[in-house]
Amino acid sequence: MSRVYNFSAGPAMLPESVLQQAQQDLLNWHDSGMSVMEMSHRSKMFIDIATQAEQDLRQLLNIPDNYKVLFLQGGASAQFAMVPLNLFGQKTVANYCQTGLWSKKAIAEAKRYGQVNIVTSSDAENYTCIPDVSTWTIDPNAAYFHYTPNETIGGVEFSFIPECGDMPLVADMSSTLLSRPLDVSKFGIIYAGAQKNIGPAGLTIVIIRDDLIGHAADNVPGLYHYKTWSDSHSMYNTPPTYSWYVAGLVFKWLLDQGGLRKMAEINQRKAEKLYRLIDHSDFYHNPVNKADRSWMNVPFTLADSAQDKAFLEGAKQAGLETLKGHRSVGGMRASIYNAMPEAGVDALIDYMTDFAQSRA
Ligand SMILES: *Cc1c(COP(=O)(O)O)cnc(C)c1O
C-alpha cells in the first residue's frame, strides 16, 4: 500500500519528509544510541530539541519577546477550562463568540467558572457564517474575549481579527495556527491542539502574553495554572516529548518551505480551487457564506445523499481517505492543512469531477 491523501480533520496528515526524518531517527537520534522516545526530558539532548522547536516556532510566527510559548497536554479542550480559570480574576463575565460546535464547547466549559456574554451567535444560521460585526454586543467589563478563528466542523473562518479594545483577545486556533502569517501581538492567548496543523496528537501549544500569567486562584489545580508551566519551561512534569520533537521537525519543514507567507499562498490556492469546483457544479454544494469560508476545512454535500456511500468508496479506491463529513453536518469534509500537498487537492478535484460526470 502506498501512502494516501488523507483528508482527516485530525489527527491529520504530516509532511512525508518529516515522517522520514522521524523514521531515520527512530532507533538512534543523532548518534545518541537512543530514540527520542527513550530520552529523559531533563537530558541536555531533549532540552536542545525542545529549545530549538520553540525557537523555530517563534521565528515562524514572529512571536514577540513578551509572550511565552508553552508545550502542554490536555488538548485544546483543556484550554477551554484553563482560559477561564486563569483569566476571570475578579471579573464575573467573559465575552464569547458562538460560531460553531467548538466555540459552543468552549462556552459550556467557561460557564462552570463564570458568566458568559454571547457576543454573537450564528446558531440560527446553522453555523454557516460569521454574523456582521455591527450586530455584536461586547460586554466592555468582561475579563476577556474568546473566539474560534476557524471552526473545524462547520468550515467557517473569521477573515479578520476582532477588535475588543484593551481586554485580552483569546483564540482557539487548533485548526488554523501556522496556515498563514499572524500578528501575535493582537492576542492575549492563542492555543491549539497540535494534531491538526502542527504535529502528532498529545501536544497543545499555548502562546500567552506574560502579564496574563499568574492570576489563577489558589484552589485551582497546579497543573491548570499557566504560571506552573511558564516557570518550569513546560517541564513541571513529563511533557509529551515525542510529539514535541515531531512538532519541531514540522517547524523546520515549514521554514524550509519558505515560512508562513509561502504556506498562505499555497493554502489559499488549494482552498480556492476546491471551492471553485464546488461552486461551479450543480452536483456539489458548500453551505458557508463565501466571505467566511475556511481555507483548512471544506465541507460539502452531494446533490443526492444516496450517493454518499459510492462517493466515499470510489474516493478510497483513488487513494483519497477520510472524506466523510462530521456526523453533525453530514456529507463530506476535506481537511486540507499545510501537510496536504497541492497534488492531493488536485487529485480530489479530478475525482470529484469524474464522479459528478458519471452520476449526472
Ligand atoms: C479539534 C479541535 C478542538 C479539540 O481539540 P482537542 O485537542 O481534541 O481537545 C478544539 N477546538 C477546535 C477548533 C478544534 O478543531
CATH number, domain of 306, equals 3.90.1150.10
Q: Ligand 1 centre from 202 Cα, in Å?
A: 12
| Residue nearest to ligand 1 atom 14, measured at CA | 174
Could you read off the pLDDT of 342-358 as tens digits, one per residue? 999 999 999 999 999 99
Domain final position from 256, 286, 304: 256
pLDDT band at 265 (very low <50, low <70, confident <90, very high): very high
**CA of 193, closest atom in ligand 1:** 7
Please report whether residue 2 resides in a domain: no
Among protein residues, the one with the nearest Cα to ligand 1's atom 7 is 75
pLDDT tens, residue by residue, 69-83 = 999 999 999 999 999
Nearest to 206 by CA among 156, 161, 172, 165: 172
Domain-located, residue 4: no
With respect to residue 1, please indicate whether it lies within any of the assigned structural domains.
no
Q: How far is CA 295 from the centre of its chain?
A: 12
Shared-domain flag, residues 237 and 93: yes
Same domain, 241 and 280: no
Query: Do 163 and 301 reside in the same domain of the chain?
Result: no
149 and 57 in one domain? Answer: yes
**Residue 196 annotated to the active site:** yes
- Helix H or strand E segment including 335: strand 332-335
Instruction: List the grid coordinates of 207.
Output: 502562546
CA 21, CA 87: separation in Å to the nearest integer?
A: 40
What is the number of domains present in the chain? Answer: 2
Q: Given pLDDT bands bounded at 50, 70 and 90, which one contains residue 359?
A: confident
CB under 6 Å to ligand 1: residues?
A: 10, 75-77, 102, 148, 152, 172, 174-175, 193, 196
Ligand 1: centre distance to CA 83 (Å): 14
229 in catalytic set: no
The verdict on 95 and 134 lying in the same domain is yes
131 and 30 in one domain? yes
Of 201, 221, 256, the residue that ends a domain is 256
> Domain span at residue 330?
258-358
* Amino acid 329: pLDDT: 86
pLDDT of residue 106: 98
What DSSP letter does each residue of 69-95 carry, written as one string?
Answer: EEEESSHHHHHHHHHHHHH-TT--EEE
In a shared domain, residues 238 and 284: no
292 is catalytic: no
- Give the mutation target among 174, 197, 328 for probing the ligand 1 site: most ligand atoms within 8 A of CB: 174
Which of 71, 72, 73, 77 to mutate for ligand 1's pocket (most ligand atoms within 8 Å of CB)? Answer: 77
pTM of the model: 0.98
Q: Do 151 and 37 share a structural domain?
A: yes
Among residues 223, 256, 289, which one ends one of the domains?
256
Q: What is the DSSP string of 286-297?
A: --S-GGGB-SSE
CATH number at residue 236: 3.40.640.10
d(CA 82, CA 163): 23
